[in-house]
Amino acid sequence: MISKQFQLKQIDDVANELLQTQKSKTFCFFGQMGAGKTTLIKALVKKLGSADEVSSPTFGLVNEYHSPKGEVLAYHFDFYRINDETEAMDIGFEEYLASNTHVFIEWPELIPNLLPDDVNQVHIDIQDENTRHIRFSS
């Protein structure tokens, strides 16, 4: 388990450390609004080699990020606005998980019964405007 404080300017180093210690390609991000979940996912997508613009898929539920050659590198889910797990099932969430591609999930606590057992859990807490505390278990 990784547990440490970091400055937002160190986000690329944190992303690199998470990718080096991952146990699976599925990451669940926990933290209050504004904690930096999307910012960390941006850094992870960049580390995977994508130049795509990363934004939170709050309204569309999922964004797809590609390599320069057009290969899918990651799927990014934001379940903040769903009402129940059925909505995730309706967009084919299980197929995304089975794709052997990185899957980054914001607000996973809203779909607990759909998550595989081997997810990487990333908890981010705000310490102050520029400092976060991260707990990562793989």
Query: Rounded distance, CA 105 to CA 121, Å?
Result: 10
The string of pLDDT tens digits covering residues 50-65 is: 988 888 876 678 999 9
In this structure, the number of other CB atoms found within 10 A of the CB of residue 52 comes to 17
Which of helix, strand or coil describes residue 28? Answer: strand
The string of pLDDT tens digits covering residues 13-52 is: 999 999 999 999 999 999 999 999 999 999 999 999 998 8
- Identity of the residue numbered 11: I
| CATH of segment(s) 2-137 | 3.40.50.300
Query: Rounded distance, CA 86 to CA 54, Å?
Result: 26
CB 45 within 8 A of CB 53: no
